[in-house]
């Protein structure tokens, strides 16, 4: 959000009326004032936040899966990979490789 406080301005700079109005309008347009949740209209910031919290809790709950189906899928995937490439993928990461990438800060 825009902040029209003193810290955002250079020394001696004063905002114009245009900048103040533009800043306030920007804040108003980015504020959620109403939300419909399960056919109920939420109008207070507390109920709006609770509605969003409930929504995301439901959206990101663990999904039940069949363990056998996961095993079967993984089994089929590993069968299609060349055994030589599969061995390279399963090889442990060496300490020297870890140090090299950590020091440089870039993938090598």
DSSP secondary structure letters along 3-31: --SGGGS-TT----HHHHHHHHHHHHHTS
Instruction: Give the residues of the chain that fall short of pLDDT 50.
Output: 1-6, 107-108
At a CB cut-off of 8 Å and minimum separation 6, what does 78 contact? 86
Per-residue model confidence (pLDDT) at position 108: 44
Token pair for 8? 């955002």
Q: What pTM was estimated for this model as a whole?
A: 0.37
Per-residue model confidence (pLDDT) at position 4: 45
Per-residue model confidence (pLDDT) at position 106: 55
Half-sphere exposure of 33 (CA within 13 A, CB side): 4
């Amino acid at each position: 959000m825009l902040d029209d406080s003193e810290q955002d301005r250079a020394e001696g700079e004063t905002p114009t009326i245009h900048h103040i109005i533009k800043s306030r309008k920007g804040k108003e347009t980015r504020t959620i004032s109403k939300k419909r949740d399960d056919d109920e209209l939420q109008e207070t910031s507390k109920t709006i936040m609770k509605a969003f919290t409930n929504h995301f809790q439901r959206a990101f709950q663990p999904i039940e899966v069949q363990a056998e189906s996961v095993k079967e899928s993984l089994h089929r995937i590993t069968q299609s990979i060349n055994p030589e490439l599969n061995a390279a993928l399963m090889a442990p990461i060496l300490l020297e490789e870890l140090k090299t990438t950590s020091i440089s800060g870039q993938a090598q």
